[in-house]
Amino acid sequence: MTHYRFHILCCGGTGCKASNSAGIVRKFEAVLKEKNINDVQVITTGCFGFCEKGPIVKILPDNTFYVQVKEEDVENIVNEHIIKGRKVERLLYTDPKANAHIADSKHMGFYKKQMRVALRNCGFINPEDIREYIARDGYAALGKVLTEMTPEAAIEEMKKSGLRGRGGAGFPTGKKWELARTLVPNAEQKYVICNADEGDPGAFMDRSILEGDPHSIIEAMAICGYCIGATKGLVYIRAEYPLAIRRLQIAIDQAREYGLLGKDIMGTGFEFDIELRYGAGAFVCGEETALIHSMEGQRGEPTIKPPFPAVKGYNGMPSNVNNVETFANVPVIYLKGADWFSKIGTEKSKGTKVFALAGKINNVGLIEVPMGTTLREIIYEIGGGIKGGKKFKAVQTGGPSGGCLTEKHLDTPVDYESLAAAKSIMGSGGMIVMDEDNCMVSIAKFYLDFTVDESCGKCTPCRVGNKRMNEILDKIIKGNGTMEDLDTLKNLANVIKDTALCGLGQTAPNPVISTLDNFYDEYLAHVKDKKCPAGQCKDLLSYVINPEKCIGCTACARKCPVNAITGVVKQPQTIDQEKCIKCGTCIDTCKFGAISKQ
Amino acid sequence: MAVKSLADLKKMSSEFKNTVSLRENGDNVDSLIQIKVAMATCGIASGAKEVMDFYLEELDKQGIKAVVTQTGCMGYCYAEPTIEVKLPGKDPIVFGHVNVEKASEILEKYIKNGELVEGIIPVNYETVK
């Protein structure tokens, strides 16, 4: 057999694919062939997480980490690195603090604090090749559970591990499995359902796991099936994730071919198979009852619990719904043991959590940290701090159901309880960082726009209440808000929270509540002074020309799309506030810094 | 290629191991034996490629976990091919005039038993980390 000297790993996640990683792979293969080098293997992997600087190419065994690689660079990498053993300096990641090239991914701040459990195979194996997964002890956990453990013992082990639902609510996974096993003992059929309906704006944890390590989900679902007594698994995945769907389907086909799905798995008599169900991308379908209705072909609307899915789920049969990331943790727990897993994290939140870092942060990407890591460590050490050296203002966790945390919360450890105590939530793992230029009233409105759009309309508090809140926020942003509006906003938020039917409605007011709590000053500034402190709300701004700085070059007047700027040449110009549409073109045009926002 | 039992799976797993072992070794390089073969023009011209291939095959055959990488010219062009061997927890040692025969001696004596062999080039510079 061939001994490979080098493995060239190219990221094939959606982010890097969008910036032509597939072209890079083809080019590597072509160049290597042309130069007659046959002891180097090129592998397409899942997401490395460092999406900010994609496409990523990693060369092993020396762990060289090349960023923002282009097709033109490939020949250079082969000539220098592969043939001559010299690293291509210009493509190495530059540490912003030390301003030096870092060759080895182990020394990058981005990876140092991370601990990869759910993402263990992402960016490491070829997700389209079951052999690589098997070589990494894939399906060994399933083998161990099937041959050495009773379902009860396996559930006990899961309970001991302390794993909690990674979809956001944090319900103990072992407990959930136990309920699905015991509540209806003689069910004709039971179902294992994987919730891959990831919907938070800016979140892509589940997608990356499905794209980078689909077999871990298949294996975990089979284990769950054995534990609860189900022979059928369903993955509810949104049609907007075509690459994840394709890789998952390839993985399912390969698993069937290897006899790891189907009848009599590993000669134990256990039977399990998985099918995909596509969602149309409605946020509410992430709620488990709505998800089940959508899979049945009904409208994607939630129903009151109880009955819980563990009693009456898909097609009226007992069903167990877990999130993708929850499943991704399962095989490792059985391989390394519940004790190993429960040593990671905090007292009540065990293991790690994957976050999608986004917003005004230097290292946008996908990260995984042990529970209990502080927000400060995530934002400043892994995330590399705020873009452009600006001031940190807030971090939003939990998406449209979560809240904004401020400077004073930066040392909060990330775990279910601490985030709840700070009035936000863990959520599924979206983490959006904001700087001084973000207006918090607008942020609240952004999230509310989302939930108003996504509300299914079944219950009144959510359908009407959120719409009213949205209108009040709009009024405030336009400078027409009153003090009474702020009180109404608060009342409405609390009523909706208490009365809405499902999780979507109950948590929709959270962004408003948390911004009211933490940034009341900003609301007051909008309402009382008719000013937006962040300078983001157009209606509260005016652009003015400083007559002392203006030399009358009229460059701005010529660029102004609505001809709002007038004046005599070589004399200070003026802006007609009635005509001005606040597009900001004049500020960008002026070379003398004479125009400012007020 | 069906997996009919857990034993089947385990067998398959060890068969496939070498597809990813290079990557796994790269992940915990510090705890493994590292062999760097100088593969600049001078090294290649004097036969470094055969030495590298020898190590890749032999270590695999003997089941010794090690990371074999290539590096650029180490500056000892008079003594090519040169290799640098770093055993875990020890300082790296550079050997000169390494042909396949010498490579085998280094493997048997130094790498396996820690015995020093002839041909060590004293390190005369420090590397900036």
pLDDT tens, position by position, A248-305: 999 999 999 999 999 999 999 999 999 999 999 899 999 999 999 999 999 999 999 8
Q: Say whether both A211 and A300 belong to one domain.
A: yes
Q: Say whether both A17 and A75 belong to one domain.
A: yes
What digits encode the pLDDT tens for the residues A295-321? 999 999 999 989 999 999 999 999 999
Amino acid at the residue A453: D
Q: Which domain holds residue A425?
A: 352-435
Amino acid at the residue A587: I
| End residue of a domain, out of A527, A562, A588 | A527
In a domain, A122, yes or no: no
Residues 165-204 on A with a CB inside 8 Å of B are none
State the average pLDDT for chain A.
92
Q: Say whether both A188 and A202 belong to one domain.
A: yes
Q: Does A572 touch chain B (CB under 8 A)?
A: no
Q: Does B18 touch chain A (CB under 8 A)?
A: yes
Q: Say whether both A300 and A402 belong to one domain.
A: no
**pLDDT for residue A343:** 96
Q: Say whether both A485 and A410 belong to one domain.
A: no
Q: Which residues in chain A have their CB less than 8 angstroms from residue B29's CB?
A: 61-63
Tokens of A397: 């966790």
ipTM of the complex: 0.77
Asked whether the predicted pLDDT for residue A452 surpasses 50, the reply is yes
Tell me how close the Cα of B91 comes to any Cα of chain A, in angstroms.
18
Asked whether the predicted pLDDT for residue A350 surpasses 90, the reply is yes
| End residue of a domain, out of A400, A435, A470 | A435
In a domain, A316, yes or no: yes
Q: Say whether both A458 and A551 belong to one domain.
A: no
Region A92-101 average pLDDT: 79
Tell me the pTM. 0.86
Q: For testing the chain A interface, which of B70, B73, B74, B82 should be mutated: the one with the most A CBs within 10 Å? A: B70
CATH number at residue A455: 1.20.1440.230
Q: Does B56 touch chain A (CB under 8 A)?
A: yes
Output the CA torsion B9→B12→B14→B18 (10° steps). Answer: -140
CATH number at residue A223: 3.40.50.11540
**pLDDT for residue B24:** 78
Q: Does B12 touch chain A (CB under 8 A)?
A: yes
| DSSP H helical ranges for A88-139 | 109-112, 130-135
In a domain, A490, yes or no: yes
Q: For testing the chain A interface, which of B8, B16, B39, B71 should be mutated: the one with the most A CBs within 10 Å? A: B16
Q: How far apart are CA A234 and CA B91, in angstroms?
A: 54
Q: Say whether both A162 and A237 belong to one domain.
A: yes
CA A490 to chain centre: 29
Asked whether the predicted pLDDT for residue A104 surpasses 80, the reply is no
Region B38-61 average pLDDT: 84
Q: Does B39 touch chain A (CB under 8 A)?
A: yes
Q: Say whether both A502 and A547 belong to one domain.
A: no
Q: Say whether both A295 and A322 belong to one domain.
A: yes
What digits encode the pLDDT tens for the residues A59-75? 988 888 999 999 999 99
Residue B126: pLDDT band (50, 70, 90) is low
Q: Which residues in chain A have their CB less than 8 angstroms from residue B67's CB?
A: 61
Count the neighbouring beta carbons within 10 Å of the beta carbon of residue A575: 21
Q: Say whether both A141 and A263 belong to one domain.
A: yes
Residue (of A165, A163, A145) closest to A226 by Cα position? A145
Count the neighbouring beta carbons within 10 Å of the beta carbon of residue A154: 24
Region A121-130 average pLDDT: 91
**pLDDT for residue A1:** 46
Q: Name all domains of chain B by residue range, CATH numbers in brackets.
A: 30-121 (3.40.30.10)
State the average pLDDT for chain B.
82
Q: Say whether both A522 and A421 belong to one domain.
A: no
Count the neighbouring beta carbons within 10 Å of the beta carbon of residue A71: 15
In a domain, A408, yes or no: yes
Do B23 and A258 make contact, defined as CB atoms within 8 angstroms? no
Length of chain A: 598
**pLDDT for residue A244:** 94
Give the number of domains in chain A: 5
CATH number at residue A66: 3.40.30.10
Handedness of CA A210, A61, A5, B64 (dihedral sign): negative
In a domain, A116, yes or no: no
Residue (of A213, A209, A262) closest to A233 by Cα position? A262
Question: Cα angle vertex A326, ends A325, A332, to 5°?
Answer: 95
Q: Does A128 touch chain B (CB under 8 A)?
A: no
Of A84, A124, A266, the CB nearest to B3: A266
SS3 call for A298? coil
Q: Which residues in chain A have their CB less than 8 angstroms from residue B56's CB?
A: 3, 5
